[in-house]
Every structure is written in C-alpha cells, then in structure tokens.
Amino acid sequence: MADTSPLLQIEGVKVPRRLPPWLRAKAGHWERVHDMRVLLGQAHLHTVCEEARCPNQGECWTRGTATFMLLGDTCTRSCGFCAVATGRPKPPDPEEPRHVAETSRRLGLRFVVVTSVNRDDLPDGGAAHFAETVRAIYAVNPSSQVEVLVPDFKGDREAIQTVVDARPTVFNHNLETVERLTKQVRVQARYRRSLQVLRDAKAAGQPITKTGIMLGLGETEPEVLQLFEEARAADVDILTVGQYLQPTKDHLPVVEYVHPDRFHALEDSAYRLGFKAVYAGPLVRSSYHAELTAQKTQVARGEE
C-alpha cells in the first residue's frame, strides 16, 4: 500500500513532505516584478531575492524593495541551507557600488539593504567593497539609510572596522542556527566567531546591530533561547526568526515546519530579553521589512 504519511523518514529523522498552509507567500504584481527584473538586469546587479530563492520576492519587488547582493553571484563557501552557487568567483566589479547607488536612487529607496556572497578569496573578505557601496548610496541620496548584511570576514576586526566606518544604519550578521547545528548548516563558519563579529561591530562604534536565525533544522527550544541570550549579551538590537525552506533536494532537509504560534511565543521571549525590535514568523527573512525593524530600534533608542 502506498505511503500517505505527511512525514518522510530520512536517516532516522521524520521530515515533512508537504508545505503547511501558513507558508503561502504573496505573489506580488507581475508587472512590477517584471520592471524590477529589467532594471536590475540593465545595471548588471544581483539580488539575494533571486539567488537565494526568497519566498517573499514577489511581495517585496511589488513594493519596490530588494536586497542587493554584492561581489557577484558565486560564493566561496558551501553552506548546507543556501541556494547561492559555490565556486571560484570573478574579480569584484569596481563599478558595482555606483550601480547599486544609482539603482537605489531610481527605485526611490529610502532604506537600502546590501549583502554579499562570502569572498574568502579577497584579503579583506570584501569589506572595502561594502564600505564603498554604503558611501556611494549616501552620495546620491544623503537622506537614505543603509543596512549591511555581512559575512564573518573570518573574524577580521580591521575588516569589520572598515564597514562600520562607512556609517551604515544597521550592521547585520546572521548566526543562522544554534551552536550545535552550525558545523552542519554553515560548514566553514563558526558560531562563536559570528557572535564575536557582532560584539566587535558594537565595539567599533556601530549603533545598531542585528542578527537572524532559521528554525526547522532540528534545533531545540532551550538551544534557541540560549542563542537569544547570547545575542543579547553581545548587545544585538534586532532579531529576526524565520522558517528554513529547502531550496533544492541537494540541500539540508526540513526537519520541522514550525507553527506560527511558536514564532509568536519566541518573539515574546526575545522582547523580554531586551531586544529593541524582533520580527518572527514562518516567512520572515533577515532583510524582510528591514526598514520597519530599524525604525522601531531607532525609536527605542530615542533617535529621530
């Protein structure tokens, strides 16, 4: 008889077969999505929305927002959760910071999010390229705000200082998962090193720091709460919590589809620990509605 169970058995772990109803993303307006794709293509720019197969792409592009991905579309690392291609990247495009700045101006963005692939082949991990992009955005639109979602730069404090000196509004570096699962999920990364990156950014003068994690990879509740506590101990201001979705069959399987009620409970727990802004939900991604969490943090800090 055919197996009709909603769970699939993989190496002793029951893995859900089907997406639950709460994981249906908004499609977005196709004309606006098309226009965004054309504009980004003309500028030869990449977005994490496309490369990481973000489920919120339609909604965000309809709103005219996108997360620019610097330094090409090929990563030097091979994380088990990420859909971005791994290989030998091309040299950085020196015109990319200007293109990102001009495109953000054409889109009328008041809050710009920039991230990158990992570039362990570069001496500074791409830190100077980040800084140049932030300065270029401010040059064409001085009233805009910028969030940078950076790799760990192998823990290089000089690289972190380079980015902070460009004065981004928000410095974001994701822990991604609990310490026990980090080696499996992030492979070349280190949980403790990522915590130190967040500490070093604050020590370097960054006013707002942020991190994000995924649920559904096999973590336990105590492990998640420990991560929350350690992020707060590192003086992180903003926390995002979302559901991991397997991008292809070659990536890590989903162990659990977490119910929205659990996300709400975790959000409450995070606020009790002292985070200034928390965004938790099945479809939440690190840069999803980034401007709103930044604004909430600035209000909590008493800033205009």
**pLDDT band, very low/low/confident/very high, at 11 (cuts 50, 70, 90):** very low
Query: pLDDT by residue (tens digit) across 69-85?
Result: 899 889 999 898 887 88
**pLDDT band, very low/low/confident/very high, at 32 (cuts 50, 70, 90):** low
How confident is the model at residue 59, as a pLDDT?
A: 53
Q: Which residue has the higher pLDDT, 184 or 106?
A: 184
Query: pLDDT by residue (tens digit) across 48-60?
Result: 444 445 554 445 5
| Cα three-residue angle 120-160-114, rounded to 5 degrees | 75
How confident is the model at residue 80, as a pLDDT?
A: 86
Q: How far apart are CA 26 and CA 61, in angstroms?
A: 11
**Residue boundaries of the structural domains of the chain:** 27-300
Is the pLDDT at 180 greater than 60, yes or no?
yes
Q: Could you give the count of Cα atoms lying within 13 Å of 89 in the half-sphere of its Cβ?
A: 24
Is the pLDDT at 92 greater than 70, yes or no?
yes
Mean pLDDT of 274-279: 96
Query: pLDDT by residue (tens digit) across 202-217?
Result: 999 999 999 999 999 9
Q: The pTM is what?
A: 0.84
Query: pLDDT by residue (tens digit) across 149-179?
Result: 999 999 999 999 999 999 999 999 999 999 9
The CATH number assigned to the domain with range 27-300 reads 3.20.20.70
- Arithmetic mean of pLDDT over the chain: 85
Mean pLDDT of 115-135: 97
Mean pLDDT of 15-39: 58
CA–CA distances in Å: residue 199 to residues 12, 152, 168, 188, 202: 38, 12, 16, 20, 5
**pLDDT band, very low/low/confident/very high, at 13 (cuts 50, 70, 90):** very low
